[in-house]
Amino acid sequence: MMSAAAGAVGGVVGREGRCAPQMLSDTAVAILAFLQTIAAAGACEECVGVYVGVARHEAIDSIRELVDASRILCIYGACGLCRQRRLVARVWRPASAA
């Protein structure tokens, strides 16, 4: 029988069962830093790409990388920069304990 770790792509088990912190690409680190400065608003992939200076496709790949690493989440809403309603990336923060 195959273990969960052996079946995972790249050695990463999943959000709850990661073996070790995931290394992020330079683009993903830049996007995360940008999103942390506008945490309440979030930004669409086009605005993120323009800010970081990468093509839309590379911005989408890096956003996907950050979602997989549980660093950000994406919701459907208004972009904090261009105000268009589309998929918006925001910094993920765990619910505070009450």
Q: Which of 26, 90, 28 is nearest to 65 (CA)?
A: 28
pLDDT tens digits, residue range 36-53?
Answer: 999 788 999 999 999 999
Residues of the chain short of pLDDT 70, as ranges, are 1-21, 95-98
What pLDDT, on a 0 to 100 scale, did the predictor assign at position 96? 67
pLDDT on residue 68: 94
Which domains are assigned to the chain? Answer: 23-91 (1.10.10.10)
pTM score: 0.72
* pLDDT at residue 8, rounded to an integer: 44
| Residues 66, 1: Cα–Cα separation, whole Å | 30
Amino acid 68 reads D
Burial level of 14, CB count in 10 A (0-12/13-18/19+)? exposed
Residue 93 has a pLDDT of 77
Per-residue pLDDT at 5: 44
